[in-house]
Amino acid sequence: MLLQHIADGVLSGAVVALGAIGLSFAMKILRFANFSHSELLTWGAYFALVFLGFTTAFSDFFGGNIGPLSFGWPLLIAMVLSAVATSVLALVLHALVFEKLGRGAGHMTMVFASFGIALLLRHVVVLIWGPNPIYYSNELQFAVLLPGNVRVMPDQVFLLGLTIVLVVSLHLFMTRSRAGIAMRGVSENPDLARVSGVNVDNVVRWVWVIGASMAAIAGVLYGLTVQLRPELGFGLILPLFAAAILGGAGSMYGAVIGGLVVGLSENLSVMIIPTTYKPAVPFLLILLILYFRPDGLFGERR
Amino acid sequence: MTRNVLEASGIFAGYSPELPILHGVDLNVGQGEVVTIIGPNGAGKSTFIKAIAGLVTVTAGNVQLNGRNITHIRSHRLAASGVGFVPQNGNIFTTLSIHENLVLGAISLRSKPARQRIAEIYRQYPVLQERQFEKAGILSGGQRQILAVARALLTHPRLMLLDEPTAGLSPKAAAELFSVVRSLVDSGSSVLMVEQNARAALRVSDRGYVLAEGRNHADGTAAALLDDNDIRHIFLGMPQQYADHHIAGQNGERDHYNPRESN
């Protein structure tokens, strides 16, 4: 039973980790808590649904499902297109709202603007796709039995594998590429980065693109293993913030570890408290982190 | 006559348009010159250098670099235009490695020339190469300043702006840094420096400007400023008695003032 909860915790933590990376970058580089970030997960999931409608038209060309998974290449291509579309949406929001406000508005104005954007995004989803749950695939999938009597769906194993690949790729980007090093430089000291020749405005756009892409993929993976509904992102807002705060603003590795801790805490908590209280666990984590280590595990000490 | 690399005229600037800190400052830096700005706290020395670097908004006046107007240039284009800036505080990226600091300094160059320039900097400052994979945050104060100057040097700047480069350094490290400042001229750069350690800075400078309350107070050759009785008394921290005493001696003599005599 314990192993099953650990496996479930790691799998749900992987989705939270992907979503929290972008939120953590935004908190550090854009310097505000972006409450609309979780809605990018929802939009990513629904964008993929739209693109899936187009790509399944070519399913004869792509073939059927990949191995034991419940989906084939059409969904993977739709996921990539969804990451692009969500990035465009994020860049539009940045240009129309956050960039303009950022020139003169204070931190709280940005936070409240992000609340408003979140509400708007969520209700536009309801307006377009309706309030009822939707599934990418209606196929039934059977769990695979692993050693230790742990049962996982093949889709969940794919989710974990893809998360690992994305985190390693992002690590290489941040440490080996000039754009990644520039991003880390802006995160630490934007003025120094600027006089060193870094176009900070471009770096900020990269932050939106990376954050939105990760959020879109997290949204698709969540929709794949659970279901699509307009509150998909809203339901993840506390776990995302808990992971980003636990890891420390701006730390990618912190966000990943934070995501896993949140996922494990939520799933292990049901062994000692009723499942109804499970959503309160991330909130409790946020309180504990802010009380004992406000800069998070990997954040810079102020 | 020396060609001017930097010509700043009538500069008004500040952190808020309603409250300018600089009130029409004029300043030139000639080719191959080291020019130091001195003045009391709050005179606007650092604000002036930040205004040139584009970090403080210039509300009136004109800044020309080699005849090109750079008054409202965006800061990130400054490095590519030939200006290197070493701020007083936070002048290195402490969470990045020494090598990554240099990669960022060379970001306005293409990849291959950037690699070549970093290799040249390593030859010039071997201590940076030896510790290239270490976090810059663990360097000593003097080494940090060397890294900061090296980072700004990567783009072969025609003008180096140094804001209080010896702040917080030991006398030995400060002396080493001033010798680095002179070597910048040998490598083809001109230098504009703001320095609290005014006497030591003027000794390695060709010319100096005195700012007070955001306005030009005086300017001249470094030797003339060092010998000006009023400036020595008001801006170089020497009592009038010492100034009178020193002026009677030979110019450039080692200070031999005994503070007890002033009591």
Looking at the 3D structure of chain A, how many domains does it have? 1
B155 touches chain A (CB under 8 A): yes
Listed by start position, the domains of chain B span 4-87+157-251
Tokens of A52: 């899936």
DSSP A34-51: -TTHHHHHHHHHHHHHHH
B115 touches chain A (CB under 8 A): no
Residue A70, domain member (yes or no): yes
Minimal CA separation from A181 to chain B, in Å: 7
Backbone angles phi, psi at B4, to 5 degrees: -85, 130
Report ipTM (2 d.p.).
0.82
pLDDT tens-digit profile of B128-174? 999 999 999 999 888 898 999 899 989 889 999 999 988 888 888 88
Tokens of A44: 């990513």
Residue A292, domain member (yes or no): no
Name the strand (E) or helix (H) holding B29.
strand B22-30
Cα B3 to chain centroid distance, Å, stands at 19
Can you give the pTM of this predicted structure? 0.83
Report mean pLDDT in 10-residue bins for chain A, 302 residues.
Answer: 87 91 89 92 96 85 80 92 97 94 82 95 96 85 80 88 93 93 93 92 94 95 90 92 90 91 91 88 88 81 54
Residue A158, domain member (yes or no): yes
CATH superfamily ID and name for B4-87+157-251: P-loop containing nucleotide triphosphate hydrolases (3.40.50.300)
B79 touches chain A (CB under 8 A): yes
Tokens of B185: 């001229």
Q: Is the dihedral of CA B36, B41, B45, B50 positive or negative?
A: positive
pLDDT tens-digit profile of A181-210? 999 999 999 999 999 999 999 999 999 999
pLDDT tens-digit profile of A53-105? 988 888 777 777 888 888 889 999 999 999 999 999 999 999 999 998 877 77
Closest residue in chain A to residue B157, using alpha carbons only: A196
Contact: B96, A198; criterion CB under 8 Å: no
Closest CA to B14 of B46, B38, B39: B46
> Which residues span the domain enclosing A201?
28-233
- What span, in angstroms and rounded, lies between the C-alpha atoms of A159 and A142? 16
The shortest CB-CB distance from A181 to any of B53, B100, B152 is to B100
